[in-house]
Structure 1
Amino acid sequence: MRIGFVLVAAASFVAAVPAQAQDSAVASTQIAQGDFAQAESKLMAELRVHPGRPELLLNLAAVYAKTGRTSEARSLYTKVLGQNDVLMDISAEQTAGSHALAQRGLRRLDTVQFSAR
C-alpha cells in the first residue's frame, strides 16, 4: 500500500521537501513556509478524522521538532515505528518507507539534542 505525499525533513529539518498532492491535508505548504502554527492546526484537525495516519504523524512530528518540542516529536516518530511500515511518496519522484522516515526524524532529534549540549 502506498500512502499520499508527506513532508518530512529527510536530509535536515531546514531542507524539507514539500508534498505535491493532498497538501491541505498534510500541511506541507505551511511547513515549508515556516507557518508551523497553521500547519499544526491543520494536522491536528486531520488527525481527529484520521487518527494514526503516518503521513499526518510524521508531519506533526516535524512541526514539533522545528518548534523545539522534541519530546512530543519523539513520541510521534515512535508511534509511526509501532505501526506497519508503508511506502510513502515524499515528492513526485521519490518514495520512502514510513519507518525509514521516522528513524531519520529520530536521528535528527538526537543530533540536535547532542549539538545543544
Structure 2
Amino acid sequence: MRIGLVLLAAAPLFAALPAQAQDSAVAATQISQGDFAAAESRLLSELRIHPGRPELLLNLAAVYAKTGRTGEARGLYTRVLGQDEVLMDLSVDRTAGSHALAQRGLRRLDTVQFTAR
C-alpha cells in the first residue's frame, strides 16, 4: 500500500490526488518553500482527523526539525517507527518505506545535535 506524498510534491498531480493526499502534498510544497508555519497548521489540522497517518507525521516531524524543535521531531519519528511500515511516494517515480524515512530523519537529528555541541 502506498500513501501520500512526503516532503516532495508535484503540483500538476494535485487534481489527481484524493483530498487527504492532496493536503499532504500542499504541506510538502509549503515545507520545501520554507513556509513552515502554514505547513504546520495544515498538518496539525489533518492530524486531528487522521492521527496516525505516517505521511502527516513525517512531514510534521520535518517542520519541527527545520524549526529547531528536535524533541518533538524525534517523538514523531519514533511514533512512525512504532506503526506498521508503509510504502510512501516521495515523488512521481520515487518511493521509500515509512520506517526508512523516520530512521533517516532521526539520523539527521543526531547529526545536527552532534555538530551543535
| TM-score range normalised by the length of the shorter chain | 0.7 to 0.9
1:64 aligns with 2:64: yes
Q: Which runs of 5+ in 1 are unaligned?
A: 8-17
Q: Which runs of 4+ in 1 moved over 3 A?
A: none
1:108 aligns with 2:108: yes
Q: Please give the secondary structure, in 2, of the residue aligned with 1:77.
A: helix
C-alpha separation in 2, matches of 1:77 and 1:19 = 20
Matched ranges for 1:39-78 at <5 A: 39-78=39-78
* CA root-mean-square deviation: 1.0
The answer for the alignment partner of 2:17 in structure 1 is none
The answer for the alignment partner of 1:35 in structure 2 is 35
C-alpha separation in 2, matches of 1:47 and 1:65 = 18
Q: Which runs of 5+ in 2 are unaligned?
A: 15-20
The structure with the largest alpha-carbon Rg is 2
The answer for the alignment partner of 1:11 in structure 2 is none
The answer for the alignment partner of 1:19 in structure 2 is 9
TM-score (norm 2): 0.88
C-alpha separation in 1, matches of 2:24 and 2:73 = 19
Task: Deviation per CA, 1:83-112: give whole Å up to 9, x if none.
Answer: 000000000010000000000000000000
